[in-house]
Amino acid sequence: MSNSVSVVNDNGVAIVTIDNPPVNALSFHVREPLMQALVDLRDDASVTAIVIACAGRTFVAGADITEFGKPVQQPDLRAIVAMLETIAKPTVAAIHGTALGGGLELALGCHFRVADIDAKLGLPEVKLGLLPGGGGTVRLPRLVGAVKALKMIVSGSPVGADEAHEAGLVDAVFEGDLVTHATNFAGEIARKGGPFTPVRDRNDGLGETDLAAFDAEAAELAKKARGLEAPVACAQAVRNAVTLPFDEALAAERALFVKLVASDQSRAQRHLFFAEREAAKLPGKDTPKRRITRVGVIGAGTMGGGIAMAFANGGFPVTLLETSVEALQRGLGMIEKNYAVSVSRGSLAEDAKRQRLAQFKGSTDYADLAECDLIIEAVFEDMAVKKEVFGKLDAIAKPGAILATNTSYLDINEIAGSISRPQDVLGLHFFSPANVMKLLEIVRADKTAPDALATVVDLARRIGKVAVVVGVCHGFVGNRMLAARGSESEALLLEGATPSQIDKAFTDFGWPMGPFQMGDLAGLDIGWRNRKARGLTAVIADTLCEQGRFGQKTGRGFYLYEAGARAGVPDPEVEALIREKAAERGIVPRAISADEIIERTLYPLVNEGAKILEEKIAARASDIDVVWANGYGFPIGKGGPMFWAGLEGASRIVERLDHWHQRTGKQVFEVAPLLRQMAETGSWESDATA
Ligand code: T1G
C-alpha cells in the first residue's frame, strides 16, 4: 500500500493499519491510500470484514491541523466516511490511546467500535475554535443521544472507554492485544451475518430528544462561551442533528465548519495549540535529564501546599517542610480539605484522594530533604529569607538535586550566586492555585545548567503543566507585562473612568474579569506590600488598603461584597475617594471610552512584550502568548497579546502609543523598536524584513 497505510488479510478479516507518527493525524498522505485500501477491500470478495487500527501510541488523533487554512486535497475525511458507509461487510474501528476529532469521526463511519480499556474518545475541535467537520455532530448524537453529544462536543473533553461503552459509543472494551480482539470481534460479526447498519441510519433514541431540555442545556453552555463562536456553533450543529434529516444536518455542519476554520478565533486557538508545544522545545533537544523520583517543597502555605499537590497529583512522593509542627499540620490540613472538596464535587474518587495523600511526608527538619531530587521553596517573598533557605539547602541537598525558587519577581541570579552550586538553581514560578493553574514559568538563571532546565521542562509535562522558559528580570514575563498593563489603571480612574467601566471593557474584550475585580479576588494587600517593598505608590489602591479594604476577603475593596457574594457591586465611597484624589491633583474628570481603556492598558502590554523579546527574556513571541493565555486569562479567541497585536494591527498600536507618549511623556508608551519593526514586517522575528 503506502508507508502510512498497510493491509493484512487475517482469514478474511482485513486489518487496515494507519501509521503516521506521532499521533496518526489524517494528513492527505494518509487519506489517499486509506481511501484506496477501503475501496479495494469493499470490492474484494475474499474479505468478510474490515478492521481499522493504528500503529504507535494512539488511534487517529484528528485531522491534520497543519493543513487547515490551505486548499483541501481530496479525498477529504467526509468522502472517506461516506464511502465507508457504503460497505456492506462489517467494519470495525480498533481504538487505542486517543480517538479524537477526525479520528473519532472516522470510527463513527464504521459499523462498530471496540476500544482498549485505557482509550480516550472525544471531539475536541471546539478547543481549536472549530466544530467537528467530518460528520461528528450528526453521527455522535445518533449513538449517545443529543444531550450527551452536546456536552461532549461543546466541552471538547474526551470520555474514557467504559463511559463510551455505557453511552453506546463503543461496542466492546478489551484489555491486552486490541487488534487480535478486534479481528476476532469482526470475524464473529461477519459469521453472524448482516445487515450492518451504518451510524447515519441509526437513531438510538434521537427522536425522543426533549428539545426544551436540550435548549436549556445549550443555553447554559453558551453562557460560558464568553464571546467564543465555536461553542455556540457546536450546539447549533447538534440541534440540527435532532431536527433535520441527516444530509441536511451534515450540510449545515459543513457550512459552519467552513466559516469557523477561516475565523480569527480559530486561527488564534490553533496558534496557541502549536505555541504550547513549541514553548516546550529547548535548544539541544537531546540534553540528558536528571532523574526525579522524590520532590521536596518548603513552605506549606497557599502556594507551597498547591505546588505539593501538583506533584502528588502527578504521582510524585512529596516531602513538605515547615518551620513548626503547627504550621505543618495547618498546611497538610488544607491539602486534605482541598482533596475532600474535589471528592465532594465528583472530580476525584475517594480512592485517588487516599493515594495522593499517601504521597505526602511532612517534616520540620531540613535533613529530610536530603533524599529529594528536586526541592522547591515557596517561603515569604523576601531576599534575605530566600538566601537563608538556599544556604540551608546548599548544606543538605544531595549532589545534582535541582534547587528551585517559586519567587514571582526576586532576582534569581542573586539567590543562585549566594550558594556553591548556582548551576542547580532555577525558578519554578507557579500560579495560584498551583494545583489548578496550568502555567509554569520556568526561570533560567545565568548559570542554570542545561540538563537542569531540560529536566524541569519535561517534568512540567508530567504534572500537567504548560511550561514556558523565561529569563531573569523583574516579574519575569507575566508579572512584568501585568505591571505595564496596570500602569495606567489608576490614571484612568483619576481622569474619569470607574472601576466597573474599566472592568467591563476587559470582560467585553473576552477576559474572565477586569483588573479591579481580579485585584479584589487576589487581595489588594498583596500588591500593596509589593509596592511598599519597592517604594512605589498607587494613590487609590494604597488608600483603600490603608482603610483595610483588601477586597473580597474583607468584604470591600474596589467593590462592595455582600456576605459570601463573589460578584461585587460599585461602591459610592470608592467613587467619592477617586473624585477627591483627582481634585487634589487638579484633574477634571472626562468621559473615557472603552477603546481608550483598551489602548492605554493592552497596547502597553504588547509593547512590554516586544521589549521582553528584544532583551531575550522570552525566546518567541508565541511563548508570551502561552504565558498570557494559560496564566492571566488572556482570551484564547485572540491568541495571546502578541498574536492579537497582528489582529488589532501593529501599525495602529504604534500610532496610538506614539499619541499617548506625546500626550503624557510616560515611558510605558515609548514604542519598542521591535514593535515598530513588527508594524512594518508583520513578524516578531527580530531579523524579519518588510
Ligand atoms: N494535527 C497535526 N499535528 C498534530 C495533531 C494534529 N491533529 N495532534 C498533535 N500533533 C502534533 C503536535 O503538534 C506535536 O508536534 C506532536 O504531534 C505530538 O503532540 C475534521 C476539524 C493527541 C492528546 O484537537 O490533543 O479533527 O511539537 O505534543 O502530549 O473534525 O496532541 O512534536 O512537532 O500534543 O502526547 C482534532 C490534538 C483536530 C487533538 C497527544 N484533534 N492533539 O498529546 O503529544 S481537528 C485534536 C492532541 C479535527 C475534524 C477536525 C494531542 C494528543 P511536535 P503532543 P501528547
Per-residue model confidence as pLDDT tens digits over 494-530: 999 999 999 999 999 999 999 999 999 989 998 898 8
Q: Which run of H or of E encompasses 673?
A: helix 673-681
Return the active site residues: 105, 125
For ligand 1, whether the C-beta of 253 sits within 6 Å is no
At residue 1, the pLDDT reads 55
At residue 456, the pLDDT reads 98
pTM, to two decimals: 0.95
For residue 282, the CA-to-ligand 1 centroid distance in Å is: 19
At residue 44, the pLDDT reads 97
Q: Average pLDDT of 363-392? A: 97
Lowest-confidence segment of 31-35, 191-195, 530-534 by average pLDDT: 530-534
Question: Ligand 1: which atom is nearest the Cα of residue 136?
Answer: 30
463 near 434, Cβ under 8 Å?
A: no
**Among residues 339, 377, 380, which one has the least CA distance to residue 356?**
339
Question: Ligand 1: which atom is nearest the Cα of residue 278?
Answer: 27
Residues in the chain: 690
Strand residue runs (E) in 20-171? 49-54, 91-95, 98-100, 112-116, 120-122, 159-160
Residue 8 forms beta bridges with which residues? 15
For residue 311, the CA-to-ligand 1 centroid distance in Å is: 25
DSSP 599-666: HHHHHHHHHHHHHHHHTTSBS-HHHHHHHHHHHS---GGGTSHHHHHHHH-HHHHHHHHHHHHHHH--
Residue 92 forms beta bridges with which residues? 51, 112
Q: Which of 4, 18, 20, 23 to mutate to test the pocket of ligand 1 (most atoms within 8 A of CB)?
A: 23
At residue 680, the pLDDT reads 95
Question: Ligand 1: which atom is nearest the Cα of residue 261?
Answer: 21
At residue 685, the pLDDT reads 82
303 near 432, Cβ under 8 Å?
A: yes
The whole-angstrom separation of Cα 397 and Cα 401 is 6
For ligand 1, whether the C-beta of 416 sits within 6 Å is no
For residue 628, the CA-to-ligand 1 centroid distance in Å is: 21
For ligand 1, whether the C-beta of 332 sits within 6 Å is no
As a whole-number percent, the residues of the chain with pLDDT over 90 amount to 92
Question: Ligand 1: which atom is nearest the Cα of residue 77?
Answer: 20
Check residue 71 and report its DSSP letter: P
Q: Whose CA is nearest to atom 22 of ligand 1?
A: 61
Greatest Cα-to-Cα distance within the chain, rounded to the nearest angstrom: 92
Question: Ligand 1: which atom is nearest the Cα of residue 277?
Answer: 27
Q: Whose CA is nearest to atom 29 of ligand 1?
A: 461
At residue 285, the pLDDT reads 72
Q: Whose CA is nearest to atom 28 of ligand 1?
A: 277
Cα 576-581-582 angle, rounded to 5 deg: 95
Burial of 567 by CB count in 10 Å (0-12 exposed, 13-18 middle, 19+ buried)?
Answer: exposed
23 near 4, Cβ under 8 Å?
A: no
Q: Average pLDDT of 331-338? A: 97
The whole-angstrom separation of Cα 196 and Cα 156 is 29
Q: Average pLDDT of 205-224? A: 89
In one-letter notation, the amino acid at residue 339 is: Y
At residue 690, the pLDDT reads 61
Mean pLDDT (the chain) is 96
At residue 283, the pLDDT reads 85
Burial of 302 by CB count in 10 Å (0-12 exposed, 13-18 middle, 19+ buried)?
Answer: middle
Other CB atoms within a 10 A radius of the CB of residue 553 amount to 14
What is the tens place of the pLDDT at every residue in 262-293?
999 999 999 999 999 999 999 877 899 999 99
At residue 206, the pLDDT reads 81
Cα 281-512-334 angle, rounded to 5 deg: 80
For ligand 1, whether the C-beta of 586 sits within 6 Å is no
Residue ranges of the alpha helices (H) in 412-488? 412-417, 450-462, 478-486
Long-range contacts of residues 644-651, Cβ cutoff 8 Å, at least 24 apart: 644/268, 644/602, 644/606, 645/606, 645/609, 645/675, 645/678, 646/682, 647/264, 647/268, 650/675, 650/678, 650/679, 650/682, 651/679
The residue that leads in pLDDT, 565 or 97, is 97
**Among residues 552, 536, 556, which one has the least CA distance to residue 544?**
556
470 near 623, Cβ under 8 Å?
A: yes
For residue 440, the CA-to-ligand 1 centroid distance in Å is: 21
At residue 21, the pLDDT reads 96
What is the tens place of the pLDDT at every residue in 36-73?
999 999 999 999 999 999 999 999 999 999 999 999 99
For ligand 1, whether the C-beta of 54 sits within 6 Å is no
For ligand 1, whether the C-beta of 471 sits within 6 Å is no
For residue 10, the CA-to-ligand 1 centroid distance in Å is: 31
**Among residues 190, 408, 407, 435, which one has the least CA distance to residue 298?**
407
For ligand 1, whether the C-beta of 105 sits within 6 Å is yes
Q: Which three cell numbers stand for residue 182?
A: 478486534
For residue 64, the CA-to-ligand 1 centroid distance in Å is: 8
For ligand 1, whether the C-beta of 641 sits within 6 Å is no
The whole-angstrom separation of Cα 307 and Cα 313 is 10
Cis, bond preceding 21 (omega within 30 deg of 0): no
The whole-angstrom separation of Cα 637 and Cα 126 is 11
Residues whose CB is less than 8 angstroms from the CB of residue 655 and which lie 6 or more positions away in sequence, other chains included: none
Q: Is the confidence at residue 433, as pLDDT, over 70?
A: yes
Which residue in this structure is represented by grid cell 490614571? 491
For residue 274, the CA-to-ligand 1 centroid distance in Å is: 9
Cα separations in angstroms, 53 against 6, 26, 131, 221: 10, 13, 24, 34
Q: Average pLDDT of 304-310? A: 98
What is the tens place of the pLDDT at every residue in 358-368?
999 999 999 99
Q: Which run of H or of E encompasses 383?
A: helix 383-396
**226 phi, psi to nearest 5 deg:** 45, 50
For ligand 1, whether the C-beta of 23 sits within 6 Å is yes
Q: Average pLDDT of 649-658? A: 98
For ligand 1, whether the C-beta of 234 sits within 6 Å is no
Residues whose CB is less than 8 angstroms from the CB of residue 648 and which lie 6 or more positions away in sequence, other chains included: none
For residue 444, the CA-to-ligand 1 centroid distance in Å is: 28
For ligand 1, whether the C-beta of 133 sits within 6 Å is yes
For residue 68, the CA-to-ligand 1 centroid distance in Å is: 13
For ligand 1, whether the C-beta of 77 sits within 6 Å is yes
Q: How many whole angstroms from its chain centre is CA 170?
A: 28
Q: Whose CA is nearest to atom 42 of ligand 1?
A: 61
